[in-house]
């Protein structure tokens, strides 16, 4: 985490020199999971990074991902909330300030997402898979009807994992 914070501080110092103004330092966590390497929460001045991707892609993460997320916070501080996330303001910070390509996405190896599906049935021969979100709504009382036969859909008690 020390190297990450050092890189973050360097990015902020470059911005402060360029724009002759101070920028509030964000809170930083390494608790992000899943497909994203980092996320900037603009209104909370918070950066979340993916610890596993940081470990597995240490050098590139420090070189690219940290400035990428810092540039979001700097762009927000300079131009407000009406700009596009990866718009020209953000791109200019990446290329002109940090001397880096303005890439929207990382190319780190990511394990495929595992998805759980809950199987529902009606009067039709094949089952209908529900996402965990829709299944949770059913458990709270929501009802769904089959669009083909009109019967209510009922949980079979089965679930499967894909991916």
Residue 29 near residue 69 (C-beta atoms within 8 A): no
Number of other residues whose CB lies within 10 A of the CB of residue 143: 9
pLDDT of residue 67: 97
Coil/strand/helix, residue 108 = coil
Number of other residues whose CB lies within 10 A of the CB of residue 109: 8
Q: What 8-state DSSP symbol labels residue 45?
A: T
Coil/strand/helix, residue 130 = strand
Q: In which band, very low, low, confident or very high, does the pLDDT at 138 lie, cut at 50, 70 and 90? A: very high
Q: In which band, very low, low, confident or very high, does the pLDDT at 18 lie, cut at 50, 70 and 90? A: very high
pTM above 0.85, yes or no: no
Token representation of residue 99: 């001397």
Rounded-to-integer distance, Cα 160 and Cα 162, Å: 7
pLDDT of residue 163: 66
Rounded-to-integer distance, Cα 50 and Cα 121, Å: 38
Instruction: Bin 153: left if φ > 0, else alpha if -120 < ψ < 50, else beta.
Output: beta
Rg of the chain over all Cα atoms, to the nearest angstrom: 22
115-128 pLDDT per residue, tens: 899 999 998 888 89
Q: What are phi and psi of 121, to 5 degrees?
A: -135, 155
Token representation of residue 40: 């900037």
Residues with a catalytic annotation lie at 69
């Amino acid at each position: 985490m020390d190297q990450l914070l050092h890189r973050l501080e360097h990015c902020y110092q470059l911005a402060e020199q360029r724009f002759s103004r101070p920028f509030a330092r964000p809170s930083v966590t390494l608790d992000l999971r899943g497909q994203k390497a980092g996320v900037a929460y603009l209104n909370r001045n918070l950066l979340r990074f993916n610890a596993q991707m940081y470990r597995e892609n240490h050098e590139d993460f420090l070189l690219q991902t940290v400035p990428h997320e810092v540039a979001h916070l700097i762009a927000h501080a300079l131009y407000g909330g009406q700009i596009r996330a990866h718009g020209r303001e953000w791109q200019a910070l990446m290329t002109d300030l940090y001397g880096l390509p303005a890439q929207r996405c990382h190319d780190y190896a990511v394990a495929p997402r595992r998805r759980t599906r809950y199987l529902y049935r009606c009067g039709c021969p094949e089952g209908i898979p529900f996402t965990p979100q829709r299944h949770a709504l059913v458990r709270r009382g929501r009802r769904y009807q089959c669009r083909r036969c009109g019967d209510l859909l009922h949980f079979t008690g089965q679930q499967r994992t894909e991916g």
